[in-house]
Amino acid sequence: MGLIKIFSGKEIFALSLQEKIEAIGVNTVIRSNNQANVLPSIQTEKAVELFIQEVDFGKASPVIEEFRLNL
């Protein structure tokens, strides 16, 4: 059992998908590598990644597919 990445992109989209997945009872992990708080002079926006447990993929798959079709 491990984590699998289900989304990588803008934070606003990651948070939206996270909300939909958690609404069906699947826990998520979000990781942001944004260094803007550490080095404010750097304005590059890094992708945010959203992960779920492998065992939850079957349950979350319909929600993920619906989300991707509506992007």
- Give the domain ranges of the chain: 3-69
For the domain made up of 3-69, give the CATH fold: Alpha-Beta Plaits (3.30.70)
Output the CA–CA distances (angstroms, integers) from residue 4 to 19, 38, 41, 42, in the order listed: 17, 27, 32, 29
User: Is residue 20 scored above 80 in pLDDT?
Assistant: yes
- Burial of 27 (C-beta count, 10 Å sphere; 0-12/13-18/19+): exposed
Mean pLDDT, the chain, whole residue set:
88
Which of 34-43, 45-54, 59-68: highest mean pLDDT? Answer: 59-68
Q: What pLDDT was estimated at residue 32? A: 85
* DSSP class of 3: E
